[in-house]
Amino acid sequence: MPFIFPHTSRLLWVRTAALVCTCVTFSVASHGAHLGNGGDLFMFCWSFSFAGTLLILLVELLGLQTRAPVSWTNFPITFACYATLLCLTASVAFPINFLKGSQPQGEARDHRIVATVFSCLATVAYLVEVSLARARPGEVAGYMATTPGLLKVCETFVAC
């Protein structure tokens, strides 16, 4: 039985790009960047973003939104906003901690550069997802898709 995509929207492709970018980022960083104990925060940011995006894609592709125990109209936009902020934090702090003045040369440094580039690409992909999914003026949407909802996400992220 072939798998058929129920719809091919821009949002689906942006989520797929974010999924691939976060997967590449934490795979490259865990494989050859030799992060040691200092890379736990960054690995959490990337793997959490990857796992959440994979969950959202699977639920939407399989049509399980009605069975989700949360308000599905708010969950994807809220998660995308948090993933944007997590990947942005990792994209800024990772090169400061692991590239600026770092000793490793060769392959470890190359892995760190690739992880930084794909983290930045994941940030852009999540930012595009938020901009595509947010409510437009006059549109009926969940609270988190509105400007006050997005500001609430930013407020809780900064508070943490």
Residue 3 has pLDDT above 60, yes or no: no
Residue 32 has pLDDT above 90, yes or no: no
Q: Could you identify the residue written with the tokens 């392959």?
A: 107
- Which residue has better confidence, 62 or 68? 62
Q: Could you identify the residue written with the tokens 């691939």?
A: 20
* Per-chain mean pLDDT for the chain: 84
Who contacts 19 (Cβ-Cβ below 8 Å, separation ≥6)? 50, 53, 54, 57
